[in-house]
């Protein structure tokens, strides 16, 4: 069992008043800019209806499939997704629905976007919204911001026949909604935990994993029967409940064995065997509050550090690159970030500056994974989710 430095994190909870202001300022340290990125547009689109809606407009008109390496980000501060050239910045946007969060793209070029209103379907070649599929779950009024109801994490089955979206219900447990990608409708609803930040699918498509931030757990759902199982993931315990900072955010499925990798605080990596529900802990080194994570085909884990909970004790924002053997490189970042994607050649990481809390900014950090060199790129309005097309 690895040794960990003594930490006061176990007692850290969200508290009212001036102390909360200090904590939030520490976690959200960064530029805090909210200016729109140059070249990003938000064209008018169709209004949601009882079924899939009419297409939304696109800007500029598309001439074919996006160039390999083009990025697509969700504009959590708006109602669009934005196409981004990694060299030049934003090249156009498509209206999808209020406060888009996660997104996933299939082999057919369709992007599936979890918004506060429903799951938007975007043709990335023509740059138009094909449909807006309403949720079955009652999430209350459509709102914006960190605690808004509606879709959060989203994933696509390996065969492309189903999309799974985690739906947040403010003040209660969420659901996992199953979308038939041919019929463009929700076919099933499965109960999960509170605020499903992330959704992942096993490599064989047999299980779906909803990472539930506010209930300290992952819900494993059998794709065939849709039977759910709760797996608690709480390496610091559950003290503080909803007020705790020490909860799961995002999960990566390890390619080699299907185990779930959940980073916590730049100190502990929870490795969960979904078959048994057992969790083992490995040491991490960044010492910063961690959110977005992904894993490459060779098992390299990349994790976004958003910044300190306590600036007197913790480190600033960073990107951790962890080899399958556990060796880590930690690259400092300027300001908080949320999610990330990796280029096809594995040499560049694109880290979104949207951030779910205060301190977000309108762009990406582009990180050279060989050297750690970093540059900022304007991109969208509070960009949160990201994929490489």
Per-residue confidence in pLDDT tens, the chain, 389 aa: 343 444 555 555 544 333 332 333 333 333 333 222 333 333 333 333 333 333 333 344 445 788 989 999 999 999 999 999 999 999 999 999 999 999 999 999 999 999 999 999 999 999 999 999 999 999 999 999 999 999 999 999 999 999 999 999 999 999 999 999 999 999 999 999 999 999 999 999 999 999 999 999 999 999 999 999 999 999 999 999 999 999 999 999 999 999 999 999 999 999 999 999 999 999 999 999 999 999 999 999 999 999 999 999 999 999 999 999 999 999 999 999 999 999 999 999 999 999 998 899 999 999 999 999 999 999 999 999 999 99
Q: How far is CA 93 from the centre of its chain?
A: 19
Q: List pLDDT tens digits, range 99-135.
A: 999 999 999 999 999 999 999 999 999 999 999 999 9
Rg of the chain taking only CA atoms, in angstroms? 19
> 54 Cβ partners below 8 Å, 6+ apart?
46
- Beta carbons within 10 angstroms of residue 49's beta carbon: 11
Long-range contacts of 203-206 (CB under 8 A, 24+ apart): 203/158, 203/253, 203/255, 203/258, 204/158, 205/157, 205/158, 205/159
Q: What is the pLDDT of residue 12?
A: 57
- Gap between the Cα atoms of 360 and 216, Å rounded: 25
Q: What is the pLDDT of residue 7?
A: 52
- Gap between the Cα atoms of 80 and 101, Å rounded: 10
For residue 87, which of 377, 351, 333 has the smallest C-alpha distance?
A: 377
* Cβ–Cβ < 8 Å for 355, 34: no
Q: What is the pLDDT of residue 10?
A: 55
- Gap between the Cα atoms of 108 and 120, Å rounded: 15
Which residue blocks in 28-68 are alpha helix, DSSP H?
Answer: none
Q: What is the pLDDT of residue 278?
A: 98
Burial category of 182 from C-beta neighbours within 10 Å (exposed 0-12, middle 13-18, buried 19 and up):
exposed
- Gap between the Cα atoms of 350 and 386, Å rounded: 8
Which residue blocks in the chain are alpha helix, DSSP H?
Answer: 17-27
Terminal alpha carbon distance of the chain: 40
Q: What is the pLDDT of residue 21?
A: 29
- Gap between the Cα atoms of 54 and 46, Å rounded: 6
Find tokens 């492309």 and name the residue.
Answer: 160
* Cβ–Cβ < 8 Å for 49, 114: no
- Gap between the Cα atoms of 274 and 69, Å rounded: 33
Cis-peptide, bond into residue 259, ω within 30° of zero? no
Going by their DSSP bridges, the two strands 110-114 and 175-180 should be labelled as: unpaired
Find tokens 């003040």 and name the residue.
Answer: 171
Q: What is the pLDDT of residue 9?
A: 58
């Amino acid at each position: 069992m690895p040794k960990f430095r003594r930490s006061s994190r176990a007692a850290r909870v969200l508290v009212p008043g001036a102390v909360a202001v200090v904590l939030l300022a520490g976690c959200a340290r960064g530029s805090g800019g909210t200016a729109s990125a140059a070249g990003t547009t938000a064209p008018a689109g169709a209004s949601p209806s009882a079924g899939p809606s009419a297409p939304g407009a696109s800007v500029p008109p598309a001439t074919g499939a996006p160039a390999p390496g083009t990025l697509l980000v969700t504009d959590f501060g708006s109602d669009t997704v934005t196409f981004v050239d990694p060299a030049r910045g934003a090249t156009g946007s498509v209206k999808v629905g209020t406060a888009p969060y996660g997104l996933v793209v299939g082999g057919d070029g369709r992007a599936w976007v979890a918004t506060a209103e429903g799951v938007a379907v975007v043709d990335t070649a023509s740059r138009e919204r094909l449909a807006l599929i309403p949720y079955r779950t009652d999430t209350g009024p459509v709102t914006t911001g960190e605690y808004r109801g509606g879709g959060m994490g989203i994933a696509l089955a390996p065969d492309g026949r189903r999309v799974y979206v985690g739906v947040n219900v403010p003040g209660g447990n969420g659901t996992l909604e199953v979308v038939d990608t041919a019929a463009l409708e929700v076919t099933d609803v499965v109960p999960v935990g509170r605020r499903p930040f992330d959704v992942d699918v096993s490599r064989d498509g047999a299980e779906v994993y909803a990472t539930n931030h506010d209930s300290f757990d992952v819900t494993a759902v059998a794709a065939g029967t849709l039977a759910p199982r709760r797996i608690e993931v709480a390496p610091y315990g559950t003290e503080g409940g909803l007020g705790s900072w020490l909860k799961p955010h995002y999960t990566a499925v390890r390619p080699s064995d299907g185990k779930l990798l959940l980073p916590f605080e730049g100190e502990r990596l929870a490795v969960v065997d979904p078959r048994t529900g057992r969790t083992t802990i490995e040491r991490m080194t960044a010492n910063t509050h961690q959110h977005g994570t992904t894993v490459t085909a060779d098992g390299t884990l990349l994790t976004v550090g958003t910044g300190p909970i306590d600036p007197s004790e913790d480190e600033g924002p960073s990107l951790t690159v962890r080899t399958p053997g556990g060796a880590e490189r930690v690259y400092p970042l300027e300001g908080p970030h949320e999610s990330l994607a990796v280029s096809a050649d594995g040499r560049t990481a694109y880290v979104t500056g949207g951030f779910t809390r205060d301190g977000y900014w309108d762009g990406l950090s582009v990180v050279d994974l060989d050297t750690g060199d970093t540059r900022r790129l304007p991109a969208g309005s509070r960009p949160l989710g990201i994929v490489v097309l």
